[in-house]
Amino acid sequence: MRTRPLKVALLGCGVVGSEVARIMTTHADDLAARIGAPVELAGVAVRQPSKVREGIDPELVTTDATALVKRGDIDVVVEVIGGIEPARSLITTAFEHGASVVSANKALLAQDGAALHAAAEANDRDLYYEAAVAGAIPLIRPLRESLAGDKINRVMGIVNGTTNFILDKMDSTGAGYQEALDEATALGYAEADPTADVEAFDAAAKAAILAGIAFHTRVRLDDVYREGMTEVTAADFASAKEMGCTIKLLAICERAADGGSVTARVHPAMIPLSHPLASVRGAYNAVFVESDAAGQLMFYGPGAGGAPTASAVLGDLVAVCRNRLSGATGPGDSAYTQLPVSPMGEVVTRYHISLDVADKPGVLAQVATVFAEHGVSIDTVRQQGKDGEASLVVVTHRASDASLNGTVQALRSLDTVRGVASIMRVEGE
């Protein structure tokens, strides 16, 4: 074993960063045995240097992150500060000064992953980011390495624990959205401002990363269709149960049937109870992968939290340090297919539409005619009426998003249609 330690700079020492530092210290001997050399925490960049950080030598703490990554003796920079800047500048500076990088920054990777990979390659250094998607669940490396010889056709998953906790609570207790959100906040699953989670910004960033890796093409955050879950109601869950389904916020990345394009989207969807993702409860994450040779695979586990995320960071750290010792680099950016990302209007799926209509003869015929005129085939219809008003639930066969939108606009123009109560996609069939 080499006796000279590999030096690690830690950018950020919050929930995840403090766990990374703790594991590096408490598991130092094991890490050294696995890597082939000891690892040494050489510096920790923070915003508040006066804060007491148990187990970390105060002499290592600095507010000058730029000077830390420019030192020249740093072998690996671990970035867990999040956000776009200064993280982007610090990572590129680290590459330029000879360090490889381990990051958990999903937002930055979704926005500028190609540029970061290019900077890593230009400086012959590694960029690893297992912790950016689904916390402790090994997912990035299996997609980049274990399935490198296969053709992945679809990646569909629950990649945000906060939203899954809320939807699971609504499903299991009948709670409304706000009630379930309040409980998630009280338990620490939701931030004081939950917008990034419930409006699916977080999941969309992860979908961009997954789609890029799975399909060997460049997918940016702006390419991902995003729809939040704040409008999901207890009535939607009741309808889902009648269909033998539940509702999940899903990140879905698909290769077109002809192989000529890909799509990436995040939105609430009904999913059959028979599907493995339907049984994912609480704040857990799970990702379902479909490929030509391996078939169907599911990756499941805790998708957030200090220790689980730090576990993924340390796994990357071990891999990068091994590469450093051998003088090699791991897999880089693979975007050789350069497939276009199709707009949401071209996505084909099933739909569940709930309409408020007048309870009188001929309404169903009018509605059915509108669907037929727009080329949307109806699978089932359920109607309930009372006191001159009725609820009409239509489930379609597979149709494009654009044709469904045209159908809904035409339905709104009917005098007998009082309103469109809800529209939800049906996935996993």
Position 150, amino acid: D
Contact 247, 231 (CB under 8 A): no
Which single residue is written with the structure tokens 């420019």?
Answer: 70
Helices (H), 279-334: 306-326
The percent of the chain in helix, strand and coil, each rounded to the nearest 5, is 40, 25, 35
Residue 235's nearest CA partner among 172, 170, 279 is: 170
**What is the chain's alpha carbon radius of gyration, rounded to the nearest angstrom?**
24
Q: Cα 80–56–95 angle (5° rounding)?
A: 40
Q: For strand 348-358 and strand 127-128, is the pairing parallel, antiparallel, or unpaired?
A: unpaired
* CA–CA distance, 311 with 289 (Å, rounded to integer): 22
Burial bucket for residue 330 (CB in 10 Å: 0-12, 13-18, 19+): middle
Tokens of 8: 């690690």
Tokens of 187: 């338990």
Tokens of 25: 């210290």
* CA–CA distance, 359 with 383 (Å, rounded to integer): 9
Residue 49 phi/psi, 5-degree rounding, is -70, -20
Q: Which residues contact 215 (CB under 8 A, 6 or more apart)?
A: 152, 253, 255, 262, 337, 339
Contact 303, 285 (CB under 8 A): yes
What are the start-end ranges of the E strands in 320-377? 348-358
Which one from 7, 106, 151, 206 is the annotated catalytic residue?
Answer: 206
Q: What are the distances in angstroms from CA 52 to CA 56, 82, 142, 401, 416?
A: 9, 21, 38, 53, 66
206 is catalytic: yes
* CA–CA distance, 408 with 225 (Å, rounded to integer): 19
Residues classed as catalytic:
206
